[in-house]
Copies of this chain bind each other. A is one copy, B any other.
């Protein structure tokens, strides 16, 4: 298959220089703020994003060079197929986060619900639309026991 070449649209600045203290999902440590700083040439693409409360960030998991097909998720002690997990050590290393938008000014998007390292390359921003992105009656396989009633799993923050 033909290779696909991407170029970052900006850089994500966060308080997490290392994994220590970083949540596995931003929702598990909601107060922390980050900034997505787009390269100036992409700033115009942010027009009207401020009307949305949440956004989808796609980013490059730049600190992982590993691809594991079977992997132990952070919440678990047993392995699962990588495509049944949110592990960063995956083919193509694309990270996916739903973030809460705080402000959009010029080329800078300030957000909370941060779950990526400082200086992460940003690949895309898409507006979150609950009407199509929120689903009810969802089965979550092995993760169900860790995520009961929307609570926080025992292992939610990197040590």
Interface residues of A (CB under 8 A from B): 1-9, 25, 27, 39, 42, 44-56, 58, 60, 69-70, 79-86, 90-92, 94, 96, 98, 121, 123-143, 147, 150
Contacts and interface: CB of A to CB of B under 8 A. Distances in A.
**Copies of this chain per assembly:** 2
Contacts of A127: 83-86, 140-141, 143
9 closest cross-chain pairs (CB), A and B:
A51-B141, A47-B81, A53-B139, A130-B138, A131-B147, A134-B134, A83-B125, A49-B84, A48-B84
A32 to B, nearest CB: 16
A57 to B, nearest CB: 10
A143 B124 contact: no
B49 A124 contact: no
Contacts of A129: 86, 138, 140, 143, 147
Nearest to A130: B138
A53 B92 contact: no
Contacts of A5: 3-6
8 contacts: A1-B121, A3-B7, A6-B94, A44-B70, A54-B138, A96-B126, A129-B140, A130-B134
Contacts of A132: 25, 27, 98, 147
